[in-house]
A = this chain, B = another copy of it.
């Protein structure tokens, strides 16, 4: 016998509880980053590895479009790709991330090349793209709901970076400011869609599992970062501090 479906309110509350229990705002790397305790090499390692995640997001969303038969759903979902990729001239979130890369003293072409990204980061990111391409539609959509928890961490990050790091200014942190309006727009649509369409208990459980999976994807990236660059156990082939630095023109 299948368990009774959760009420809409209870289902939403269990989705939100996943954020409380295991969103990566609880990871010690973020305290370190936002509290101003990261060395510049640690910040650079974060920017390089987080690029691997950022730059895969439009591919993840394209993978979603590639298996979504509903044109209306595709039309709405497409705005996620537009947010990150932007237009040819303007560039969107990805180009804003490269502004941050430049701001922290990295050559943006080096960062964009993906060279030096830790294998563990790539494995986590690829697992996410595969999940969204292959899993049932509701799970694929629900995995994006970590965006429910993102504005709080972005607000803290903007404050923390501006307070503690010389590289932080409106230009270098523009990525995070944009996310403050983009993520809630995505969440309004997707949370409502998941709450409305996951009406059986197995579908609701699949949505909850998908969101937990996504928190795993984010957490694993910070564990790898901590191990590599805070503890200094950099895996073979990964970025070494000093590589990929921005060559500033002589004064």
Interface residues of A (CB under 8 A from B): 21-22, 28, 118-120, 122-124, 126-127, 130, 212-213, 215-217, 219-220, 223-224, 226-228, 231, 233, 235-237
Contacts and interface: CB of A to CB of B under 8 A. Distances in A.
Contacts of A213: 119
A220 B228 CA distance: 11
Contacts of A231: 227, 231
Contacts of A236: 21-22, 215-216, 219
Report the copy number of this chain in the oligomer.
2
14 contacts: A28-B233, A118-B220, A120-B120, A120-B220, A123-B124, A123-B220, A126-B127, A127-B127, A215-B236, A216-B237, A219-B236, A220-B235, A223-B235, A227-B231
A139 to B, nearest CB: 16
Contacts of A120: 120, 123-124, 220, 223-224
A216 B227 CA distance: 15
The 3 closest A-B pairs by CB, nearest first: A119-B216, A22-B236, A123-B123
A235 B233 CA distance: 18
B219 A223 contact: no
Contacts of A224: 120, 220, 223-224, 227
A59 to B, nearest CB: 15
B119 A126 contact: no
